[in-house]
Amino acid sequence: MKNNIAVVGQGYVGLPLAIAAANAGFHVVGIDKNRNKVTKLNNFISDIEGVDSEELKKIKSKGKYYATDDFSEIEKVQIVLVCVPTPLGTDGNPDLKYLIMACTEIAKNISKDTLVVIESTVAPGTTRNIIEPIIRNESKFGDENFYIAFSPERVDPLNNKWGIRNTPKLLSAMTEEGYTLAFNFYSKFVNTIIKCNSIEIAETAKLLENSFRLINISFINEISIFCQKLGIEINQVIEAAATKPFGFMPFYPSVGIGGHCIPVDPIYLANAAKSIGAPTRLIDIAHQINQEMPGYFVGRAEEKIGSLKQKKILVIGVSYKPNIADVRETPVEALIVGLKNKGAEVSWHDDLVKEWNDEKSVVLSAEYDLAIIATPHDYLDLTKLGMVPILNTRGTV
């Protein structure tokens, strides 16, 4: 039983983690409430980029992995990793409903001395003040018969340089014994584990990582607007600045920030700061800049071809970053809405995404009044556009 673990949530974080643990010798059950996803996983079909059928087939053939939507399987394990989404709600505030639901079900099914590790991103104090009481109150065993740790995910889909094994992992726990259990587990497949002196430090560090990125990307987007008005190319400016070997880190312009982390995590930090009366003005301004970028490029489109009414516009690339099919929080959605609100007839091309928002990717062709490069995938052959004017959101001139 000591080698049995459960990973709750089989998405971009949970599935690669489950596979890494299985390859390290653990028997893993992947739990997800999406029955269609469970069926696919048990038939070696992955919707997660970077996880292919052969990987699933290999660990399943060795009896190291299976997927289910049944939380009662947690009774058979002694380590539970929680990797469920922690998005923003419709009101723009942190939404913990998936995490609370998952932890409630976990608590009802855990055995004595189970270790529960939260990998989902949360505001500081969430693990101690919300998750721990849920597990304590819902568990059959009470206060002293389970362990809680926090170790925030650091997943970057399709990053060929940094993966689960070689990305340093933050770890903290409610007790030293819980930390030791979690350390012994992760050290089987993670090279470097960094101990944080409290769970709140680890929770805040995760939010700081992505708030740093939000602020710097939003700053570079402002500089790109400046460069565009000045008539110089922003990427050449960045390239020149990046020759400095210290004190500078390059960030690059875009139509805005997408994915689960950068648009979401800073709001968790800002929300927590507001609750205790601490200022987060830079985060607030950066978030505003990010939200305004799609509208800025709608304006750039009007500058380029005049009125957009009844103009045929092709948006190229709708995922939130190049070479992946992930459309979570993609800023391209706001760009398309803004163009349509100006009366444009908008189509989009993205052979990685294929279908999105009840629409399908169209082919690249010369039948448009304007093409807007929103997400530049490597496979794109822009010569198919012929003489169509191009607006590149990743540059300035």
Which active-site residues does the annotation give? 261
State the amino acid at position 132 in one-letter form: E
> How far apart (Å, rounded) are the C-alpha atoms in residues 29 and 77?
9
Reference 267, options 295, 251, 286; nearest CA is: 286
CB of 219 within 8 A of CB of 254?
no
Is 346 strand, coil or helix?
strand
Q: Rounded to an integer, what distance in angstroms lies between the CA atom of residue 352 and that of residue 354?
A: 6
Alpha-carbon 9 to chain mean position: 14
CA distance 17 to 155: 10
CA distance 282 to 277: 15
Type and span of the H or E element at 67: strand 65-68
Q: Please compute, for residue 29, the number of CA atoms within 13 A of its CA located in the half-sphere on the CB side.
A: 20
Tokens found for residue 90: 């419709």
Question: What is residue 129's DSSP assignment?
Answer: I
Burial (CB < 10 A; 0-12, 13-18, 19+), residue 394, is middle
Q: Environment class of residue 361 by beta-carbon count within 10 Å: exposed (0-12), middle (13-18) or buried (19+)?
A: middle
Q: Find the angle CA(330)-CA(336)-CA(338) to the nearest 5 degrees.
A: 115
Q: What is the DSSP letter of 195?
A: E
CA distance linking residue 272 with residue 340, whole number of Å: 36
The length of the chain in residues reads: 397
Hey, CA dihedral for 267, 269, 182, 194, is it positive or negative?
Answer: positive
Residue 147 pairs in a beta bridge with 115
Quick one: tokens of 198? 């409290």
